[in-house]
Amino acid sequence: MDHSAFSQFEADLHCHTTASDGLLTPTELICSAAELGLKGIGITDHDTIQGWQEAEEAGEKHQIRILRGIELSTEWQGKEVHILGYDLDGSSSFLNDKLRYLRQAREHRMLKILDRLEAQGIDINVDEVQQFAQGESIGRPHIAHALMERGYVSSIGEGFDRYIGMGAPAYVPRYKMTPEEGIELVRAAHGVAVLAHPGVHRLEEGIPTWVKVGLQGIEVFHSDHNPEDERKFHTIAQKYQLLITGGSDFHGEALKPGVKLGGWGVSLNVIQQILDLAERN
């Protein structure tokens, strides 16, 4: 095996699977992680915990620790704020009811987008989009896949740029919680709430408020953070005594070119820190 292909990190705590908008099934993701020499993986699909069980079964086989997670989209001052929840109680009815509501909101959004595409002379039906959504959480990447399949665009990125990205003709805003609601949802399910990639939308001003409502960590290491971002958010995390986490935000090469599994991450003991904190929650 080419050891240069090994990840320099032990754990990648931000990964997406086919349960939401990733290209690899949970099993395929864990197999890839094993090939890279990773020892821990965070499964953080959007609005669903459907991929956990399969990932855990694969993790047992490959001796990789699986951190059960989720990614929630929220909005603050017109900016996207993503909240990662780790080690949540998957049996929480409060959590499951809210996730069901969020997935229904995604479906309504998809129908509106398809109507807008139709107005642009692009006829794609629900079934065509559904075939790209292997999990229960449907999103715009699945619509972009359908656009590509029908030959309207040559890549997923072009689908977003030309039709469904923010500011494009078929864009429809999504229902979003506030960051406070996202953090409270994670904490109510006995999970650990972590602010994802805060450097992307410059979220430093919101952090003191979110710490007050229960934020417990910051994703310092991320594929969209530069070294300056890492330094800044590392300092903020230390100031508020927050966990320092990291992950690639892996979806698959076609969806996020250049974002490789295990390209960003942390040491394995961060998983233990998260589990210890969750137990105290």
pLDDT given at position 224: 97
Relative to beta strand 79-86, strand 65-76 is antiparallel
| Predicted TM-score of the model (pTM) | 0.89
pLDDT given at position 62: 98
Q: Each residue of 174-186: pLDDT tens digit? A: 888 999 999 999 9
Q: Which residue stretches of the chain have pLDDT < 50?
A: 1-4
pLDDT given at position 2: 39
DSSP secondary structure string for all residues of 138-184: --HHHHHHHHHHTTS-SSHHHHIIIIISTTSTT--PPP-B-HHHHHH
Q: Each residue of 101-136: pLDDT tens digit? A: 998 998 999 999 999 999 999 999 999 998 888 777
pLDDT given at position 4: 45
Residue 240 pairs in a beta bridge with: none
